[in-house]
Amino acid sequence: AQTVTQSQPEMSVQEAETVTLSCTYDTSESDYYLFWYKQPPSRQMILVIRQEAYKQQNATENRFSVNFQKAAKSFSLKISDSQLGDAAMYFCAYRSGNTGNQFYFGTGTSLTVIP
Amino acid sequence: SAVISQKPSRDICQRGTSLTIQCQVDSQVTMMFWYRQQPGQSLTLIATANQGSEATYESGFVIDKFPISRPNLTFSTLTVSNMSPEDSSIYLCSVEVWENTEAFFGQGTRLTVV
């Protein structure tokens, strides 16, 4: 089974600053997708950003961007201009390229934003 | 996209009883997933529910403890049976939308067993 590792249980960032959350994964597949999900205290899992493995270009969504290193199996999330609303648990997730396959989640990183 | 309504949002139950969690989706979906998230931990897949067939359970989860129904393409239920305090968790419903790669989640059910 694929494994997803988030080595940072907790991170903090000053408001308006930049923070990077780390994620590594293990797979023998060539076709897959990677995701960052955000889970605020409301418990609602919200998709932050998605990366297709076949795309070399790093995905970006407004203040959120990833550094996807396929050979190193690394998928970090950069949050720029951090806002108080960014405070949440962030989960890195892996999904095979075949429809219907399950998601594998990392253990999560709890992000605190300091005013 | 998909909007998922999950009920109840929270409950406190006596040990030995059962709780059924409902998951309603605003569109037809092929795959529905049930996850458990124990306090401070990541999501663990319980089972995958396809309409018209038996749910597929992951290692460590059995149908007698977590029976699942999937009567149509927009609805599913998960029952947590004969509950013990160890079942206290957040339970999340998730769907995969056809022609989309991402998963959409319900708001979760926080279950406390006393």
CA dist B1 and B55 (Å) reads 23
- Residue among A45, A91, A100 whose CB faces B96 most closely: A100
State the pLDDT at residue B100. 59
| A53 closest CA partner among A73, A31, A38, A75 | A31
Query: SS3 letters for chain B?
Result: CCCEEEECCEEEECCCCCEEEEEEECCCCCEEEEEEECCCCCEEEEEEEECCCCCEECCCCCCCCCCEEEEECCEEEEEECCCCHHHCEEEEEEEECCCCCCEEECCCEEEEEC
> Between residues B101 and B111, which one has the greater pLDDT?
B111
Whether B33 contacts chain A with CB within 8 A: yes
**CB < 8 Å to B94, chain A:** 45, 103
Residues in Cβ contact with B105 at an 8 Å cutoff, skipping those fewer than 6 apart: A44, A45, B4, B92, B93, B94
The stretch B26-51 carries a mean pLDDT of 89
Q: What digits encode the pLDDT tens for the residues B41-97?
A: 889 999 999 887 889 999 999 999 999 999 999 999 999 999 999 999 999 999 987
Question: For residue B110, what is the nearest residue in chain A, using CA coordinates?
Answer: A43
Which tens digit of pLDDT belongs to each residue from B82-103? 999 999 999 999 998 765 578 8
* pLDDT in the model for residue A28: 87
B16: alpha, beta or left, given left = phi > 0 and alpha = psi -120 to 50? left
Tokens of B61: 């989860």
Q: Give the mean pLDDT per block of 10 residues along chain A (115 residues).
A: 90 98 93 93 90 93 96 97 97 82 89 97
pLDDT of residue A16: 97
pLDDT at B92: 95
Contact A45 B94 (CB under 8 A): yes
> Is B30 an 8 Å CB contact of chain A?
yes
Nearest-Cα distance to chain A for B81, in Å, is 23
* Residue A45 to chain B, least CA–CA distance (Å): 6
CB A3 within 8 A of CB A26: yes
> Nearest C-alpha of chain A: how many angstroms from B80?
19
The pLDDT assigned to B91 comes to 97
pLDDT of residue A1: 66
Cβ-Cβ pairs closer than 8 A, A with B, add up to 49
pLDDT at site B30: 81
Q: Are A64 and A51 in contact (CB under 8 A)?
A: no
The residues on A that touch B, with CB distances below 8 Å, are: 33, 35, 42-45, 47, 50, 52, 91, 93, 95, 99-100, 102-103, 105-108
Task: Output the pLDDT for position A24.
Answer: 97
Sign of CA dihedral A69, A72, A76, A80: negative
CB-based contact B30 A100, cutoff 8 Å: yes
Q: Tell me the chain B residues in contact with residue A43 when contact means C-beta distances shorter than 8 Å.
A: 90, 92, 107-108, 110
Of B48, B103, B105, nearest to A44 by CB-CB distance is B105
